[in-house]
Amino acid sequence: MSGKISIEVVYALPDEQTLFKQSVPQGATAAEAIKLCGILDKYPEIDLNTNKLGIFGKLVKADTVLRDKDRIEIYRPLIADPKEVRRKRAEEGKAMKKSGGEI
């Protein structure tokens, strides 16, 4: 065994998705892999202290030890609270029903 594992690091913006494939030493953490792959050079706005991380859609901590073929996802902060957006949409729907919109 070579002591290396293959991983992917992904980051998405509204109009662009980036995937880095990388070999890292066995025992590497998510944070170490992100630093090694070079994504921080391309996207300096990524802050490992504030951006949440996941592996295949499941939240993990930066010190999580990786396994072969893991895909690390770097999440951006939400612009709007999904619960608040749904609440506003529901209120707008009720207001339209009350006004008896024309058909």
**Domains of the chain with bracketed CATH:** 4-99 (3.10.20.30)
Residues 6+ apart with CB under 8 A from 102: none
Please tell me the pTM assigned to this model.
0.73
User: pLDDT confidence of 96, banded at 50, 70, 90?
Assistant: low
Q: Over range 24-48, report the average pLDDT.
A: 95
Number of H helices, E strands in the chain: 3, 5
Between residues 72 and 102, the one the model is more confident about: 72
- How high is the mean pLDDT of the chain? 88
The angle subtended at Cα 24 by Cα 3 and Cα 37, nearest 5°, is 165
